[in-house]
Amino acid sequence: MNFISNLKSNFSSGLVVFLVALPLCLGIALASGAPPLAGVISGIIGGIIVGSLSNSPISVSGPAAGLTAILVAGIAELGSFELMLMAGVIAGLIQVLFGFLKAGSISNYFPNNVIEGMLAGIGVIIVLKQIPSALGYTDLSEEGASSLSYIFSDFPLFVQTIMSQIHLGAIVITLISIAILLIWDNVGALKKLKMIPGALIAVIVSIALNHLFKVIGSPLYVSEAMLVELPVVNNMGELGQLLVLPDFSGVFNSKVWVLGATIAMVASIETLLCVEAADKMDVKKRVTDTNRELKAQGIGNLLSSVIGGLPMTSVVVRSSANARAGATSKLSAIIHGVLLLLCVLVIPMVLNLIPLATLSAVLILVGYKLARPAIFVHFWHKGRLQFIPFVATMLAVVFTDLLTGVGVGLVISIAFILLGNKKKAYHILETASPDSKHLYITLAEEVSFLNKAAVKETLNNIQPDMEIVIDASKSTYIASDVLELIEDFTNSRARELNISVELIGFKTTYDEVAEGENTAVTVKHHAAI
């Protein structure tokens, strides 16, 4: 009885997620340089398998825009889709290992500005790489790369090639699809129809419009070469024969392992971030077991790659659609996976009528949302210590590759953290009089080893015959490295240069220092650090 009740309350939300996921599965496969069926397989496994194994009631898994740059680069570098599938198998195994190692909190160690910069870079790549398809030119398979170096290496030739082969019908369909998507998302009068995703409306309109072009014999008609190309199957047996298997010889290829590790890391981070967001959208405020989620994702990626599907993550777009549609349990995600499977088996002929230009329009808006100007404004207002790593990560992802871009962002963020710690280690108040010079140094609440260089630099720059006060009364923690540095200064440099040092708030071996003969150090009072 509970199952029937659960089915009734989650079938409608599962249907909505299916309608959102279908064009995204096809579009992301297109953006990844993979067969369209690979994206649908990933959605099916993400819904049925991951949905069953995960305990997240709201999140939905499937092929993700965040992995497209990695997959395109991997296929180009390895030279075959089958080797990329082997990397997906490795990624799945690594994710399962992450789960057993309880690495569910791994996303907490990546700064938000680096993650947002990575997503913005991916958004830029998605937009620019979909422009040829949006214009009706789709023959970029040989130049596929994670970055846009193939465009900028000879930009005039690239523009000339695209412009010589653009198709006016594809441009019309792209513009109409974008208009539908924007109107559907922004016009208040359509709020009652929000349960129907705009992407589905764009697909239906583009199919009808292209059919009209064909009937009236218009040159705007988009031919089969610019339509989705899914294999037509009549039963599960035929579907099995069409599945692409991984090239297991890639297990001895170091590049395959690097790609697998990259997919595992990025997919895990994106999944954990999405799960965190999904838990916030859950009206019952249930908390997902992130370690179990990593195991579920790993098994899903393993199975998907074994039968020719793209790697997957938990996806924000589908998860938010699931929450808005009123999902109450993970049964909604499972239903969406079942509907995707039935769609491939029952209506592949209909899917093959979808113009690629429409999917490009969907992806262009997906990319725009990842790199929308509001994100740049947000980090600009947070200050340069947040803005510069964000922009640097985005640019590095666009012009190199995703892993290098994230590495650049992390290095810059760490450098800024060190700079920030240097400035926040203490406050200096300096006063001067005719016969002496006083320096009052107030240490911060926490003084870590990261502040050692700043403290050392300040102490080394103190001039002879000065009177200084080092106040630690507000400090709750001072690293032993910094304590030793201050102790060495009071025992050596201060004596040599006749520097008078007063320590406030310390309770260390300074008692012995203060009791020594000919010392310039005095202790005003003691407090536990």
Q: Report pLDDT digits (tens) over 23-49.
A: 889 888 988 889 889 999 999 999 999
Long-range Cβ pairs for the range 208-212 (8 Å, 24+): 209/172, 209/173, 209/176, 210/169, 210/173, 210/353, 210/355, 211/353
If one compares 159 and 25, the residue with the highest pLDDT of the two is 25
* Separation of alpha carbons 260 and 510, rounded Å: 55
Residues 362 and 478 in one domain: no
Residues 505 and 470 in one domain: yes
Q: Report pTM.
A: 0.69
Q: What is the number of residues in the chain?
A: 529
Residue 330 within a domain: yes
pLDDT band at 516 (very low <50, low <70, confident <90, very high): very low
* pLDDT for residue 263: 94
Residues 403 and 505 in one domain: no
Percent of the chain exceeding pLDDT 90 equals: 28
Residue 185 within a domain: yes
Question: For the chain, how are helix, strand and coil distributed in percent, rounded to 5?
Answer: 65, 10, 25
Residue 491 CB coordination number (10 Å): 17
Residues 435 and 383 in one domain: no
Residue 226 within a domain: yes
Residues 85 and 17 in one domain: yes
* Separation of alpha carbons 379 and 116, rounded Å: 10
Range of the domain at 492: 425-525
Residue 143 within a domain: no
- What integer is the mean pLDDT of 170-180? 93
Whether the Cβ atoms of residue 166 and residue 133 lie closer than 8 Å to each other: no
Residues 360 and 506 in one domain: no
Residues 239 and 323 in one domain: yes
- What integer is the mean pLDDT of 11-16? 82
Residue 419 within a domain: no
Residues 210 and 272 in one domain: yes
- Position 50 pLDDT exceeds 90: yes
Residue 5 within a domain: no
If one compares 80 and 161, the residue with the highest pLDDT of the two is 80
- Please give the angle made by the CA atoms of 120, 127 and 119, to the nearest 5 degrees: 15
Q: Report which residue type is found at 369.
A: K
Most confident of 127-136, 275-284, 388-397: 388-397
- What integer is the mean pLDDT of 405-429? 73
Please, which residues have CB within 8 angstroms of residue 210's CB and are 6 or more apart in sequence?
169, 173, 221, 222, 353, 355
Residue 1 within a domain: no
Residue 162 belongs to what H/E stretch?
helix 155-164
Which of 413, 436, 451 is the last residue in one of the domains? 413
Which of 386, 413, 440 is the last residue in one of the domains? 413
Residue 274 within a domain: yes
Q: CATH number for the domain including 443? A: 3.30.750.24
Residues 207 and 353 in one domain: yes
Residue from 72, 38, 59 nearest 316 by CA: 59
- Determine phi and psi for 437, rounding to 5 degrees: -135, 130
* pLDDT for residue 515: 41
Which of 385, 413, 441 is the last residue in one of the domains? 413
Percent of the chain exceeding pLDDT 70 equals: 82
Q: For the chain, what is the domain count? A: 2
Which residue has tokens 């825009």?
A: 65
Sign of the alpha-carbon dihedral angle for 137, 143, 149, 155: negative
- Position 85 pLDDT exceeds 90: yes
- What integer is the mean pLDDT of 128-140? 76
* Separation of alpha carbons 29 and 68, rounded Å: 8
Residues 407 and 443 in one domain: no
Most confident of 142-156, 227-241, 284-298, 404-418: 284-298
DSSP state at residue 227: B
Give CA separation, 93 vs 105, 106, 296, 302, in Å: 18, 17, 11, 7
- What integer is the mean pLDDT of 175-187? 87
Residues 395 and 350 in one domain: yes
Residues 375 and 441 in one domain: no
- Position 309 pLDDT exceeds 80: yes
